[in-house]
Amino acid sequence: MFEDGVAYQYIGNVTNAATDDTTLGKDIAVGSVALIKVDGSSSQGKVQETTMVASDAPFKIVQKTAAGQLIYSPEFYISKSTYSGKSYSAPVEQVTYYGYNGSTSSLGTVVSGQTYTLHITLRSYAPGVGHSPLVKTVPYVATSAVEADLATGLAGSFDRIFKREPNKTIQCDTVCNATVTAANGTKSGQEVTVVKGSTALTFETNVTYEVAGGATLAVGDYLRIGTVSGGTALTDPVYRVTAISTVYVTVDRPVTAASGIYDDAGGTSDIEVIPAATGNAADWGFKFTGLDRFADSGFNPQNDFFSKIRFEVASSDFDSTVATTASAVASEGVGHGYEVAQMESKLAMNDGKGKYASAYPATVYRGEADVATPGIYDTIVLNCYRNEVTSAVTGQQPVSKFQIYIRTKDALSGDAVDAAFGLTI
């Protein structure tokens, strides 16, 4: 949190509906936050929404909770504070390729009968473990010298091993360099129903493909699944067809693509067929993507720790030419609802509510952070100090430091609190 002193946080989920230098802090809208002047002047206790940077008056932050409770920050002076504003930035999941990465590399020369093992080191993978690493080993014995067989086999091993984990960590997809061919999409107007996590796809009327429906999907072919109404790309996951029964198609492992209706609008397809011969001759690789481990369970700010999975992928069994490519670096972003809720829970102690912060299960003192949506917040951070007291003995002025976080829903664009500090968020 804040190592040099104490920290506080105040949250605004709705506009404060205040009039500058008129509305009293106690009268702001329920669920909002504001800056008020506390200098004893005619502006005492009134909301300030124009630049106060040049003012030497004391101020406070006031928050009115959803229950109507008023919570005030310690008194501070802008002249004795440094401050900055940060707009919301979304969290980012790590994406790492091993082998083909959408443009270059492959799985190298594959030797039939050889065991190929991927070593995956996970960090920040579960609540409470911090950065203690967990190493997972994924082995597979190559059944041929074909890259496609090794890729799909190792991906299957990955799924079987990782589905036993209590927390979501990462997913493994296979990708290949078979040229994106929109004309190999399911025929025009042919919709395909995809259910995430299932191995079954349902075609609308039959399993023909190409714009005119001139070819028929067969066992051993591959399906590259893109995005709904977004077409396909070389970095999209590829699955091997293992069974076909009328309009029902089974692939080699559970689909990681989003559930939905995938269509073909005259040759621009969301699902593309890669004929077996083309797929078996292609260069292949693995695409590893970090997952939101709270997507299914939700986030409990009292005992969960908001962080994104970090991981490394390595192996000594592949050719030295096989590349590891970092495509996206994991980040928690700034202002995610889980981050705000976590801080709100921990900082209840600093509001003199230790029994709320330490008890379990929690008695919610002020659970204002939006974890259901979850909410997205802009942030103002104040680093403040007070040194008004002078020792009569030493002449020294002890410095008391504290930090204030002001969080306002991103849609509020700072709710004029930023303007009071001469900021724009």
pLDDT tens digit at each of 425 positions of the chain = 444 679 999 999 999 999 999 999 999 999 999 999 999 999 999 999 999 999 889 999 999 999 999 999 999 999 999 999 999 999 999 999 999 999 999 999 999 999 999 999 998 776 555 567 889 999 999 999 999 999 999 999 999 999 988 878 899 999 999 999 888 888 767 789 999 999 999 998 889 887 656 889 999 999 999 998 888 999 999 999 999 999 999 999 999 999 999 987 655 689 999 999 999 999 999 999 999 988 888 888 888 889 899 999 999 999 999 999 999 999 999 999 999 999 998 887 787 665 555 666 666 667 899 998 899 999 999 999 988 777 788 888 888 899 999 999 999 999 999 999 999 99
Q: Is this model's pTM higher than 0.85 or not?
A: yes
- The pLDDT score that the predictor gives to residue 2 is 46
- The pLDDT score that the predictor gives to residue 191 is 87
Q: What single-letter amino acid sits at 226?
A: G
- The pLDDT score that the predictor gives to residue 16 is 96
- The pLDDT score that the predictor gives to residue 128 is 54
Domain ranges (residues) in the chain: 6-84+379-420, 95-177+282-328, 182-275
**Residues 8/12/16/21 CA torsion (nearest 10 deg):** 30
Name the nearest CA neighbour of 324 among 37, 101, 133. Answer: 101
